[in-house]
Amino acid sequence: MMRGTVLAAVVAAIPFMSQAADEFIIVQSTTSTQNSGLYDAILPRFTQSSGIEVRVVAVGTGQALKNAANCDGDVLLVHAKEAEEQFIADGYGLQRHRVMYNDFVIVGPANGPVDLKNTTTAAEALRAIAQSQTPFASRGDDSGTHKKEQALWSSTDLDPSDQSGTWYRETGSGMGATLNIAVGMDAYALTDRATWLAFENKQNHKIQFEGDPALFNQYGVTLVNPAHCTKVKIEAGAEFINWLLTDGQDAIARHTKDGEQLFFPNAR
């Protein structure tokens, strides 16, 4: 009897192991693009026209860069320009192309103790938060958003890492998890607008600061260097990148959440 059960279960396990006959590429990507539903909206169009399946591994930008450097992906789509340029300089990637942008915003409790209405720059806003010692939830995970946040802090001449564990809370988690934590502890947080708009657990949190040019958030796409990673699917990867930069631009522009556009194509 037991032998029969074993056999049945093994047979049941076979079909999915032998699938994936069609061509596919792996995209190492940031979480914000996936969490905001962008891929679900645009990828079917590309697959339909090209016959290439796109498998997205959505992790923090830091981990995406690391995975791609390990050759565990064909295409890199993240939002940390300097890190991407370093990635290319190190020989891991070919050329970086601008794909789209949106911006970062600072979210916080609606009736928070700090009034950021009259602040004009992100640096001022962060300084105000730091002075009031109101909790601030930082990604703390070397992601694109985290890198941006660190750059903003360094423009304030404050080093919040000294305060880590008091009002400055490093979650070491993804954007969504960090937002859940910020909402839970009435903390401020820096987030990209797309993730925030698509985020469903806002409760009393609202955008408290936005509009500083310093909060510009550019997404770039890079083909992994076949000289470094011999197994890279160059043609399929390049085809995907080309599509993102041409026909895909329209698809990106048409992706909205509650009527609001989440990403703004700027390849051309």
Partner 1 sequence: MQDLWGSFQAAFALIVQMDADLAEIVLLSLQVTTAAVLIACLLGFPLGALLAVGRFPGRAILSVLTNATMGLPPVVVGLLVYLMLSQSGPFAVLNLLYTPTAMIIAQVILVTPIVAALTAQVVEDLNVEYDDLLRVMGASRLQTVTTLLWDARASLMTAALAGFGRAFAEVGAVMIVGGNINHVTRVMTTAIALETSKGALALALALGIVLLMISILINASLMALRSSTRTTAHA
- Cβ neighbours of 113 (radius 10 Å): 12
Interface with partner 1 (CB under 8 A), residue from 41, 45, 50, 71: 71
Interface with partner 1 (CB under 8 A), residue from 175, 187, 241, 252: 175
Contact window for partner 1 (CB under 8 A) among 29-37, 119-127, 152-160, 248-256: 29-37
Write the CA distances from 56 to 28, 34, 36, 237, integer angstroms.
Answer: 6, 8, 14, 13
Count of residues of this chain found to bind partner 1 when the rule CB under 8 A is applied: 38
**Is residue 199 within the footprint of partner 1 (CB under 8 A)?**
yes
**Is residue 177 within the footprint of partner 1 (CB under 8 A)?**
yes
**Is residue 57 within the footprint of partner 1 (CB under 8 A)?**
yes
Which residues have a Cβ under 8 Å from the Cβ of 183 and sit 6 or more positions away? 201, 202, 203, 204, 205
Dist. CA 23–CA 204, nearest whole Å: 45
Name the residue nearer to partner 1 (CB basis): 18 or 118: 18
Exposure of 132 in the CB half-sphere (CA atoms within 13 A): 15
Name the residue nearer to partner 1 (CB basis): 162 or 200: 200
Binding site for partner 1 (CB under 8 A): 1-2, 6, 9-10, 12-13, 16-17, 20, 26, 31, 34-35, 39-40, 55-58, 67, 69-72, 174-177, 179-180, 198-202, 229, 231
